[in-house]
Structure 1
Amino acid sequence: MTRIGFIGAGRLGAPMVRRLIGAGHQVGVLGRSDEKCSAIAELGATAVTTLQEAADRAEVVVVCAFTDEQVRQVCLTAGLITAMAPKSALVLHTTGSPRTAEAIAARGQALGVDVVDAPVSGGPHDIAAGHVTIFAGGGDDALARVTPVLAAYGDPILHIGPVGAGQRVKLVNNTLFAGQIGLLVEAVRLARSLGVPETALLAALPHGSGASRALSGVATRGSVEQFIDTAGSFIAKDVEVVRKISAELGADLGVLDDVVSTWLGST
Structure 2
Amino acid sequence: MTKKTTAGFIGLGDQGAPIARRIVDAGFPLTIWARREASTVAFSDTPAKVATTPAALAAECDIIGICVVNDGDVREVTIDSGLLGAMRPGSVLAIHSTLLPETVVDIDAAARERGVHVLDAPVSGGHNGAKTGTMTVMVGGTDEALDLARPVFDSFARLVAHLGPVGSGQLIKLLNNNLAYANVVASIDALDLAEQLGMDRQVAIEVMKLSSGASGGLGIVADPRTFRKISGPGSNLPKDVHHLGEVAEAKGLGDSPLLAMSRSAQAKIADFAGRLGQS
TM-score, length basis structure 2 = 0.87
1:78 aligns with 2:81: yes
SS in 1 for 2:198: coil
1:173 aligns with 2:176: yes
Superposition pairs for residues 213-252 of structure 1, below 5 Å? 213-221=216-224, 228-232=227-231, 233-252=235-254
For residue 259 of structure 2, what is the aligned residue in structure 1?
A: 257
With over 3 angstroms needed to count, the CA separation of the structure-2 counterparts of 1:263 and 1:32, relative to structure 1, is closer
Deviation at 1:150, TM superposition (A): 0.7
Choose the corresponding residue for 2:215, options 212, 217, 238.
Answer: 212
Please, which runs of 5 or more residues in structure 1 have no aligned partner? none
Give CA-to-partner distance per residue, 1:1-31, whole Å, 9 cap, x none. Answer: 2111211112111111111111111111013
With over 3 angstroms needed to count, the CA separation of the structure-2 counterparts of 1:187 and 1:60, relative to structure 1, is same
1:133 aligns with 2:136: yes
With over 3 angstroms needed to count, the CA separation of the structure-2 counterparts of 1:15 and 1:97, relative to structure 1, is same
For residue 48 of structure 1, what is the aligned residue in structure 2?
A: 51
Question: Amino acid of the residue matched to residue 231 of structure 1?
Answer: I
Give CA-to-partner distance per residue, 1:216-267, whole Å, 9 cap, x none. Answer: 332343xxxx75433231333322222233233433251123322443149x
For residue 147 of structure 1, what is the aligned residue in structure 2?
A: 150
The more displaced of 145-154 and 5-14 is 5-14
Paired with 1:229 and 1:36, the residues of 2 have a C-alpha distance of 21
Choose the corresponding residue for 2:204, options 185, 201, 218.
Answer: 201
- State whether residues 14 and 43 of structure 1, in contact with CA within 8 Å, keep that contact through their aligned partners in structure 2: no
- State whether residues 55 and 81 of structure 2, in contact with CA within 8 Å, keep that contact through their aligned partners in structure 1: no
Give CA-to-partner distance per residue, 1:89-137, whole Å, 9 cap, x none. Answer: 1000001111111011111111100000111111121111111111111
Please, which runs of 5 or more residues in structure 2 have no aligned partner? 269-279
Deviation at 1:55, TM superposition (A): 0.4
For residue 273 of structure 2, what is the aligned residue in structure 1?
A: none
With over 3 angstroms needed to count, the CA separation of the structure-2 counterparts of 1:34 and 1:219, relative to structure 1, is closer
For residue 25 of structure 1, what is the aligned residue in structure 2?
A: 28
Paired with 2:219 and 2:267, the residues of 1 have a C-alpha distance of 23
Question: Amino acid of the residue matched to residue 245 of structure 2?
Answer: R
Give CA-to-partner distance per residue, 1:49-108, whole Å, 9 cap, x none. Answer: 101111013111111111121001112222321110101110000011111110111111
The more displaced of 39-48 and 146-155 is 39-48
For residue 68 of structure 1, what is the aligned residue in structure 2?
A: 71
With over 3 angstroms needed to count, the CA separation of the structure-2 counterparts of 1:165 and 1:34, relative to structure 1, is closer
With over 3 angstroms needed to count, the CA separation of the structure-2 counterparts of 1:243 and 1:76, relative to structure 1, is same
With over 3 angstroms needed to count, the CA separation of the structure-2 counterparts of 1:166 and 1:46, relative to structure 1, is same
- State whether residues 9 and 17 of structure 1, in contact with CA within 8 Å, keep that contact through their aligned partners in structure 2: yes
Question: Amino acid of the residue matched to residue 160 of structure 1?
Answer: L
With over 3 angstroms needed to count, the CA separation of the structure-2 counterparts of 1:112 and 1:261, relative to structure 1, is closer
With over 3 angstroms needed to count, the CA separation of the structure-2 counterparts of 1:248 and 1:41, relative to structure 1, is farther
Question: Amino acid of the residue matched to residue 243 of structure 1?
Answer: G
The more displaced of 115-124 and 31-40 is 31-40
Paired with 1:171 and 1:220, the residues of 2 have a C-alpha distance of 22
SS in 2 for 1:66: coil
Question: Amino acid of the residue matched to residue 70 of structure 1?
Answer: D
Choose the corresponding residue for 1:183, options 167, 186, 198.
Answer: 186
SS in 1 for 2:42: helix
Deviation at 1:38, TM superposition (A): 2.6
- State whether residues 29 and 40 of structure 1, in contact with CA within 8 Å, keep that contact through their aligned partners in structure 2: no
Deviation at 1:197, TM superposition (A): 2.4
Deviation at 1:43, TM superposition (A): 4.7
With over 3 angstroms needed to count, the CA separation of the structure-2 counterparts of 1:32 and 1:173, relative to structure 1, is closer
